[in-house]
Homo-oligomer: A and B are copies of this chain.
Amino acid sequence: MFSETELNTIVKKITDNYQNEELFYVKPGHQMPNRDTIIHIILGMRQIMFPGYFDEERLSRKHPGFFLGHSILKLYDTLMAQIKAALTQFEKENGDISEAETEGRADEICSSFFTSLPYVQQLLMKDVQAAFDGDPAARSKEEIIFCYPGLLAVFVYRIAHELYRLKVPFIPRIMAEYAHGRTGIDINPGAVIGEYFFIDHGTGVVVGETTEIGNNVKIYQGVTLGALSTRSGQLLRDVKRHPTIEDDVTIYSNATILGGETVIGKGTVIGGNCFITESVPEGSRVSAKKQDLSITEKRGKEGELFDSFDCSLL
C-alpha cells in the first residue's frame, strides 16, 4: 500500500481540486434537493393517481377521503421542503431573497401543484385509454397502468411539467431523469404535450424542452424530437428550438424530427427511420422512399459466408 506520505499527497491534491472549483459544496446553510426523497414523492403521487395499483392495501377503496387527505398532506410537506431547498440553492442566480419569502413561494407553488392534481389525473386516464387503443399486445388497461414504461414516463412528465410551469428549479429535471433511467424515455419537463398521448416501447425516445405536441399523438421507440444544433449552447436557452407536432400524428420507430420551426401537420403519419428537418403539411404520410438496398446472393455454405464477408460493403 502507498505510504503515509503518498496518501497525504493524494489527499492534498484532491483537496486543492476542491478549493479551485467553485462548484463544490453547496452554499453554507443551503442544501441540495434529495434525489431519494423526490423519487419517494413520485411514487406517492403514483399511489394517488392510480389507487390500488401500487399500494398493498384496501385503504384507498373503503374510505378514499381519509387516504387522500392523509397522502396529500404528507406529500405536501415533503415536496414543500424539497422546493424550498431547490429555491434556496438556486437563488444565487436570482439575487437574494429572504428565507421567509422562499418559504412563502414554496408554499404557494405547492398549493397550486396539488390543486392541479385532479386535472392531471384526468389526463392520465386518457393516456391509459390511448395506450389500450394503440397497442394490440395490451391485454387490459390494468397491464398498462401496472407495467408499461411509456405510461410511467408520461406520468412522471405530467407531474414534472406542472412543477416546471410553476418555475420550480432542478426538481422537474431530477424527476425526468428518474423516468429516463427507468424507461430510456427522456421527456424534458418543459415540453407541452396534449391529451391521449402514447409512447410504445419507448427506449431511446427524446422529447426536447421546447417541443409542442397536440392531442392523440403516438410515438415509438427511438424517436427524437430535437434541436438542429446546440453548439451555440447557453445562448439558445429558452429559444424555441424543438419541433411542433399537431393533433393525431403517429411517428414510427427511430424517426428523427428536428428544429424549432418544423411543424408536423395534423393527422400526419411519419414512417420509421425518417429524418425530417422541415415542416410537413396536414394529413401527410411520410416515409423514406423505398430504400435502395444492396442485396447480394448467398455464396458457399455458412461457415465460409462469414469468413469471406466483405465488411466494407456494410
Residue of B nearest to A292 (CB): B289
Q: Does A237 sit within 8 A of B, measured CB to CB?
A: yes
CA distance A77 to B61 in the complex (A): 12
Cβ A206 vs Cβ B221 within 8 A:
yes
CA distance A276 to B273 in the complex (A): 10
CA distance A53 to B253 in the complex (A): 36
A258 to nearest B CB, angstroms?
A: 7
- Please encode chain A, from 103 to 116, with 1 for each CB lying within 8 Å of some chain B CB and 0 for all others: 00001001100110
Query: Are A146 and B13 CB-contacts (below 8 A) given A111-B6, A224-B254?
Result: no
Q: Contact partner of A142 among B23, B73, B76, CB < 8 A?
A: B23
Cβ A10 vs Cβ B118 within 8 A:
yes
Residues of chain B with a CB closer than 8 A to A206's CB:
201, 203, 221, 253
Residues of chain B with a CB closer than 8 A to A100's CB:
none
Residue of B nearest to A222 (CB): B204
Q: Does A236 sit within 8 A of B, measured CB to CB?
A: yes
Candidate in A26, A128, A142, A184 with the most chain B CB atoms within 10 angstroms: A184
Cβ B314 vs Cβ A252 within 8 A:
yes
Residue of B nearest to A71 (CB): B70
A150 to nearest B CB, angstroms?
A: 10
Cβ A142 vs Cβ B89 within 8 A:
yes
Q: Contact partner of A139 among B90, B122, B222, B309, CB < 8 A?
A: B90
Q: Contact partner of A275 among B1, B291, B305, CB < 8 A?
A: B291
- Please encode chain A, from 188 to 225, with 1 for each CB lying within 8 Å of some chain B CB and 0 for all others: 10100000000011011110110000000010111010
Within 8 A of B (CB), among A293-314: 293-299, 302, 305-307, 309-314
Cβ B69 vs Cβ A14 within 8 A:
no
Residues of chain B with a CB closer than 8 A to A200's CB:
230
Cβ B13 vs Cβ A118 within 8 A:
yes
25 sampled A-B residue pairs with Cβ under 8 A:
A4-B63, A10-B72, A10-B115, A11-B69, A11-B72, A17-B122, A18-B64, A25-B51, A26-B142, A32-B146, A70-B71, A90-B140, A93-B139, A93-B140, A133-B233, A180-B203, A200-B230, A204-B204, A222-B224, A229-B306, A248-B305, A258-B272, A276-B293, A280-B295, A289-B294
Other 10 A-B pairs with CB < 8 A, given A139-B173, A267-B305: A10-B118, A13-B118, A25-B61, A32-B142, A62-B73, A66-B72, A70-B71, A137-B190, A252-B314, A284-B298
